[in-house]
Amino acid sequence: MTELTPTGRVILGMIALGKQTGYDIKQLSDLAIRHFWAVSYGQLYPELKRLEEQGLIVGRHEPSGGRARQVYDLTEAGRAALRDWMVSPEPPLWEVRCETLLKTFFSDVLAPEELAAQLASFRSVMERKMEQLNAIGQPQHAGPALSLQFGKGMTEWIIDWCRDREQQLGTAREVSTDA
Amino acid sequence: MTELTPTGRVILGMIALGKQTGYDIKQLSDLAIRHFWAVSYGQLYPELKRLEEQGLIVGRHEPSGGRARQVYDLTEAGRAALRDWMVSPEPPLWEVRCETLLKTFFSDVLAPEELAAQLASFRSVMERKMEQLNAIGQPQHAGPALSLQFGKGMTEWIIDWCRDREQQLGTAREVSTDA
DNA sequence: AGGTGCATGTAACAGGTTACATGATTAA
DNA sequence: TTAATCATGTAACCTGTTACATGCACCT
């Protein structure tokens, strides 16, 4: 069984969706999946070569004009490896790194309005993310549409949570100044 | 200004909360913050030494019985560095890596029940996480309580989302078999 | 002529995980 | 006596980011 790296999986999936060059894959990744999976050129291009060595993809040189351009397709082995991963029963990876939650955890050394400011800063990051998600428009395929819907839903949930906490922190402040 | 690594920040925060040894910090990290921030020994111990070299913490050797034990405290510089980070207006880091969303994005090559199975597998990961969060009990401090509340809320939101999608996929299946 | 987009690539670095090694203490 | 817990540490590895370098094509 061929071992597939995380980035390798993304590449196979993207090629299956019809993205044929490293550049194309990067474009779509940044637009549509970076909310839950980041891809960088530093991983992408070396990984394309590795996948070709493993026989999971085949590339052909197909310049567009005088511009160098490498076009990839899945091999049968590649298609099989993608499918194996897609239906694998292994517990899926789920990782979150949230600096604001870390600060929240340690926030007993902060004044209420300082914590509120941190939550507001986080909220504005999420609001910008929401704008980007809204700018995408309805995807043609069901899979991308579903994952976009998840992204919007979760982002909204987080925005609401922050707003609620900020308000509570503000109210608590007022009450304690009144007293 | 002293540059603080991500793990360095966690350490300073944890020492401020009264955790004095590498082991203690790791215990509390695994219990309470691993849902949004992971810490490993391989980072922890080298980082403790680096922080001491930088003068942000001071350690003293304080064996418990014949058992080697290094106890750390914040210095004034360390307390200042922690505070600087805590109130920093920089846009905070927010990163998610979700394998199931990746599969969802590529799911047009799957049958509906195969995608549903993937979502169910993800849901069971989140349900186990929820059990762990429920096992924690009400924290004494406000910060930890807040971050726990976030963790529970977001986990529940995800569980609900998965259940809804699974049901829709099941229903769609029935309808299409009926037709 | 110059800026944006298409297109590929790498070197240096940062950050983190896994697996292993070691050994004392404490409770069953 | 033996298993769990306390306690520290590192080497090898993996994965990924950042910053840079290169150059053509197309539009204005």
Can you give the pLDDT at residue A1? 54
Least confident among A29-33, A149-153, B62-66, B112-116: B62-66
- Phi, psi angles (nearest 5°) of residue B175: -55, -45
Structure tokens at A75: 């091999």
Structure tokens at A116: 């509120």
Angle at B173 between CA B170 and CA B177, to 5 degrees: 145
Mean pLDDT rounded to a whole number for chain A? 94
**Residue type at position B167:** Q
Q: Identify the three-state secondary structure at position B15.
A: helix
Confidence of residue A175 (pLDDT cuts 50, 70, 90): low
Residues 69-88 of B with CB under 7 A from strand C: none
Q: Within 13 Å, how many C-alpha atoms sit on residue B90's CB side?
A: 9
Give residue B27's region: left, alpha or beta (phi > 0; psi -120 to 50): alpha
Protein-covered nucleotides on strand D (Cβ within 7 A): 6-12, 14-20, 23-26
Q: Report d(CA B128, CA A165) in Å as an integer.
A: 26
> pLDDT, tens digit, for every residue of B23-48?
999 999 999 999 999 999 999 999 99
Q: How many Å lie between the alpha carbon of A1 and the closest alpha carbon of chain B?
A: 20
Which chain B residue shows the shortest CA-CA distance from A17? Answer: B106
Question: In the structure, how far is the CA atom of residue B125 from the C1' atom of nucleotide D8, in angstroms?
Answer: 32
B10 class by beta-carbon count within 10 Å (0-12 exposed, 13-18 middle, 19+ buried): buried
Mean pLDDT rounded to a whole number for chain B? 94
Of B125, B80, B76, B79, residue with least CA distance to B99:
B125
Taking residues B43-63, what's their average pLDDT?
97
B179 class by beta-carbon count within 10 Å (0-12 exposed, 13-18 middle, 19+ buried): exposed
In this structure, the dihedral spanned by the alpha carbons of residues B96, B99, B101 and B105, taken in order and rounded to 10 degrees, is 130
Taking residues B114-127, what's their average pLDDT?
98
Taking residues A120-131, what's their average pLDDT?
97
B61 class by beta-carbon count within 10 Å (0-12 exposed, 13-18 middle, 19+ buried): exposed
Structure tokens at A87: 């239906």
Of B172, B169, B106, B116, residue with least CA distance to A143:
B106
Can you give the pLDDT at residue A149? 98
Residue A163: DSSP 8-state: H
Q: Report d(CA A134, CA A126) in Å as an integer.
A: 12
Residue located via tokens 């999986």: A9
Residues B8 and B85: beta-carbon distance below 8 Å: no
Is the pLDDT score of B179 beyond 80?
no
Can you give the pLDDT at residue B152? 98
- Residues in chain B, total: 179
Longest dimension (CA), chain A: 75
B101 vs A38: CB contact, 8 Å cut-off? Answer: no
Q: How many Å lie between the alpha carbon of B53 and the closest alpha carbon of chain A?
A: 23
Can you give the pLDDT at residue B16? 98
Can you give the pLDDT at residue A2? 67
* Closest nucleotide to B67 by C1' from CA: C24
Structure tokens at A162: 């922050």
Instruction: Please give the model's pTM, rounded to 2 decimal places.
Output: 0.94
Confidence of residue B172 (pLDDT cuts 50, 70, 90): confident
Residues B37 and A97: beta-carbon distance below 8 Å: yes
Is the pLDDT score of A177 beyond 60?
no
Confidence of residue A77 (pLDDT cuts 50, 70, 90): very high
Residue A107: DSSP 8-state: G
B36 vs A91: CB contact, 8 Å cut-off? Answer: no
> pLDDT, tens digit, for every residue of B84-100?
999 999 999 999 999 99
Pairing of strands A94-98, A70-74: unpaired
B153 vs A144: CB contact, 8 Å cut-off? Answer: no
Taking residues B103-130, what's their average pLDDT?
97
Residues B100 and B122: beta-carbon distance below 8 Å: yes
